[in-house]
Amino acid sequence: MKFYIVDAFTQRPFGGNPAAVMPLEAWLPDALMQQIAAQNNQPETAFFVQRPGTNGGHFDLRWFTPAYEIDLCGHATLASAQVLHQFLGYAADTVVFHSRSGPLPVRRAADGRLTLDFPSRPAQPLPVPPPGLALAPGRPAPPCLGARDLVVVLANEAEVLAFEAQQAAGLAAPNTPYLGLIITAPGTGGVDFVSRFFDLGLGLLEDPVTGSAHSNLIPYWAERLGKTELFARQLSRRGGELWCALRGGGRVDIGGYARAYATGDILL
């Protein structure tokens, strides 16, 4: 079986978020796909199968971390579209992936930028910070919002860069209601907002660039900044850039570039 490793939300080597992508002719057993994802040991492994009778434009798509299947993943969706265009001869400018989160169209621009059409997931303000989030003594609690992930809004980019995972260690408990922790703040120098993402289910492992987190972040920052088109950076060590837009109908656009890193074969 062919596999590809693609860095998403970047144009440079060793940047962005790596994803393994595996096109399949038919679905493998769930347990086997989870084993493959664990062996790949990438933040996500995406598997897709072409839908019959759709003239090649529609695919069913699933995403697995090394430990579990996830309901929505931006960077591995971007990577899957890149594989279709770069390696599998897909020529149309739009591909539609069907997922547990509904249809997810991906549009390709003339310069190669890919734009995800994703659901908007506005986070709701929380009256008090959740237990387990360690706040600096004597400082007021930052705004916190909850959706699939917990969103903590800090004052500036420097605070986001200085954030240590130990500040959220108490959240990474078996009974946490959140999949991940997003920390965010206003950006500078033409960047509207910045963020980082920590996976609470994988021991606060930092995710390099998290497309799905922007389903939460775009509606928040669009309202706060009074604009519908935004440019964002994720401030992990690898880093990534995202061109974002709030659209009508409960949707957001999350755009970025992707760069193939490796191709190979899995032998089972």
What residues are labeled active site? Answer: 44
Cβ contact 209:10 at 8 Å: yes
User: What is the distance between the alpha carbons of residues 236 and 252, in angstroms, rounded to a whole number?
Assistant: 23
Residue 100 Cα distances to 54, 62, 85, 119, 236, angstroms: 19, 8, 23, 12, 27
Rounded Cα distance between 28 and 18, Å, is: 22
Q: Which residues contact 10 (CB under 8 A, 6 or more apart)?
A: 16, 17, 209, 238, 239, 240, 241, 256, 257, 258, 259
> What single letter denotes the amino acid at residue 19?
A
Maximum distance among all Cα pairs of the chain, rounded to whole angstroms: 62
